[in-house]
């Protein structure tokens, strides 16, 4: 963490300088433009008197040249100054962060099939971000053939999301209406919230939209059961149409945050409908890797120091448990209270007849003849009666 602070401090200095210089540059340029304007006027005035330059013009010109030279010199020295600050950021990064992470890499982990899978994950990530051209270029270069049907949902989602970001509701509404049944089945309030926002945008137009707003309110009908209160509030706000919603007790309806919210709700519900995770698997893995990397680099160094390099050779298993934080919890885990290990597919949790749960390995170790005594309540039972538990 300390390393981050050092780098951030250097970065802060650069940003401060940038904002200062920005204004300074603008001022110098404005002055120069004024000078040039004066010069132009002088020249225009003396256009009719042919012959050599008048005394005034040559004076103004000399001044102007001097001014330009000074300004350029000042800008050059400022540039030098800012350049040294920027390079200090780079040095701080080099000094405080480990640039060589190859020690924790596993040789040959991106060969053949894994390489293809990695490319596929990257392509899907770009589709999700709406960077279709990048995805297609990657497909071509890596020789991947991606099915069109795989791409289409992302193209559509991105189109709708882009429209929502600029407060255009129509594409999202059309999508929600055509998927109404499935959205309702997953308890989504997306369609209602879209209609609500459309209604609010009509309210903002004032009394001119009164008739249209009333007409539009019919769209709330399918949602009357679940959103009765919201609908009542919306209808109540119509009373204040004349004096403006912004001057009424209903001013909260205009909250700008709900536009950011609707983008999130749309992404979440549409992804759920299409059976996709909300976040791209690539960015999730990447951020998990960033959290785990320092711990892995440390453990690798310790392993090498103590000369027990054989310890970490299993390719799909880490030598230590790394806590990635709550954000990365996707499912419940169960640790066997007897073996003090997390249960796995090979060693699943088993429920005993008395209701206590231990791992299968613990169970196998504990039974005596054909009888098993529960380690918690001493109930005797047959090990065959234990049932596997799925979380």
Q: Which is nearer to Zn ion, 235 or 353 (CB)?
A: 353
Task: Give the nearest distance from C-beta 342 to Zn ion in angstroms.
Answer: 21
Segment near Zn ion (CB under 5 A), from 116-124, 139-147, 230-238, 346-354? Answer: 346-354
Q: Which is nearer to Zn ion, 72 or 377 (CB)?
A: 377
Q: Does 376 bind Zn ion (CB under 5 A)?
A: yes
Residue in the block written with tokens 């230590």:
320
Candidates 377, 385, 387, 389; binder of Zn ion (CB under 5 A) is 377
User: Which residues, in sequence order, are bridge partners of residue 26?
Assistant: none
Q: Does 374 bind Zn ion (CB under 5 A)?
A: yes
Binding characters for Zn ion, 228-257, by CB under 5 A (x = yes): ------------------------------
> SS3 for 387?
strand
Task: Give the nearest distance from C-beta 345 to Zn ion in angstroms.
Answer: 24
Q: Which is nearer to Zn ion, 300 or 356 (CB)?
A: 356
- The residues, any chain, with a CB within 8 Å of residue 360's CB and separated by 6 or more, are 347, 348, 349, 350, 388
Q: Does 65 bind Zn ion (CB under 5 A)?
A: no
Task: Give the nearest distance from C-beta 279 to Zn ion in angstroms.
Answer: 40
Segment near Zn ion (CB under 5 A), from 58-66, 201-209, 316-324, 372-380? Answer: 372-380
Sheet holding 387-388, edge to edge: 357-359, 349-351, 387-388
Q: Identify the helix (H) or strand (E) that includes residue 11.
A: helix 2-45
| Separation of alpha carbons 50 and 151, rounded Å | 72
Candidates 228, 354, 385, 387; binder of Zn ion (CB under 5 A) is 354
Q: Which is nearer to Zn ion, 290 or 377 (CB)?
A: 377
Residue 23 tokens, joined:
């204004």
**Beta-carbon neighbour count of residue 215 at 10 Å?**
11
| Separation of alpha carbons 213 and 196, rounded Å | 11
Q: Does 356 bind Zn ion (CB under 5 A)?
A: yes
Burial of 339 (0-12, 13-18, 19+ CB in 10 A): middle
Q: Does 367 bind Zn ion (CB under 5 A)?
A: no
Task: Give the nearest distance from C-beta 367 to Zn ion in angstroms.
Answer: 14
Task: Give the nearest distance from C-beta 346 to Zn ion in angstroms.
Answer: 24
The conformation of residue 47, written as its DSSP 8-state character, comes to S
Task: Give the nearest distance from C-beta 107 to Zn ion in angstroms.
Answer: 47
| Separation of alpha carbons 241 and 206, rounded Å | 5
**Beta-carbon neighbour count of residue 315 at 10 Å?**
9
Q: Which is nearer to Zn ion, 69 or 387 (CB)?
A: 387
Segment near Zn ion (CB under 5 A), from 96-104, 153-161, 260-268, 366-374? Answer: 366-374
Q: Does 373 bind Zn ion (CB under 5 A)?
A: no
Q: Does 363 bind Zn ion (CB under 5 A)?
A: no
- Cα distances (Å, whole numbers) of residue 271 to 157, 243, 267, 354: 9, 41, 6, 41
Judged by the rule CB under 5 A, the positions of this chain that interact with Zn ion are: 354, 356, 374, 376-377
């Amino acid at each position: 963490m300390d390393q981050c602070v050092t780098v951030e401090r250097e970065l802060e200095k650069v940003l401060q300088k940038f904002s200062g210089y920005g204004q300074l540059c603008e001022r110098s340029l404005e002055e120069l433009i004024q000078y040039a304007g004066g010069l132009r006027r002088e020249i225009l005035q003396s256009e009719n008197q042919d012959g050599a330059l008048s005394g005034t013009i040559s004076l103004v010109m000399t001044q102007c040249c001097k001014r330009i030279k000074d300004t350029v010199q000042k800008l050059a020295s400022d540039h030098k100054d800012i350049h040294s600050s920027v390079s200090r950021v780079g040095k701080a990064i080099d000094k405080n962060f480990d640039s060589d992470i190859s020690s924790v890499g596993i040789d040959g982990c991106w060969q053949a099939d894994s390489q293809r899978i990695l490319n596929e994950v990257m392509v899907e990530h770009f589709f999700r971000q709406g960077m279709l051209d990048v995805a297609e270029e990657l497909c071509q270069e890596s020789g991947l053939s991606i099915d069109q049907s795989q791409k289409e949902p992302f193209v559509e989602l991105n189109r709708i999301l882009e429209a929502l970001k600029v407060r255009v509701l129509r594409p999202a509404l059309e999508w929600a209406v055509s998927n109404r049944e499935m959205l309702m089945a997953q308890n989504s309030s997306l369609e209602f919230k879209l209609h609500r926002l459309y209604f609010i945008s009509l309210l903002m137009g004032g009394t001119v939209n009164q008739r249209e707003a009333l007409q539009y309110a019919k769209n709330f009908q399918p949602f009357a059961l679940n959103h009765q209160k919201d609908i009542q509030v919306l209808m109540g706000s119509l009373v204040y149409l004349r004096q403006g919603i912004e001057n009424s007790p209903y001013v909260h309806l205009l909250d700008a945050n709900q536009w950011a919210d609707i983008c999130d709700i749309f992404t979440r519900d549409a992804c759920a409908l299409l059976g996709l995770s909300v976040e791209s698997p690539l960015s999730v893995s990447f951020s998990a890797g960033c959290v785990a990397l320092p711990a892995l680099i440390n453990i690798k160094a310790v392993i090498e120091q103590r000369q027990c390099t054989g310890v970490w050779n299993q390719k799909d298993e880490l030598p230590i448990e790394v806590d990635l934080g709550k954000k990365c919890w996707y499912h419940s885990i169960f640790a066997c209270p007897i073996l003090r290990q997390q249960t796995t597919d090979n060693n699943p949790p088993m429920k005993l007849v008395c209701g206590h749960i231990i791992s299968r390995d613990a169970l196998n170790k504990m039974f005596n003849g054909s009888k098993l005594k529960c380690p918690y309540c001493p109930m005797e039972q047959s090990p065959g009666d234990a049932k596997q538990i799925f979380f």
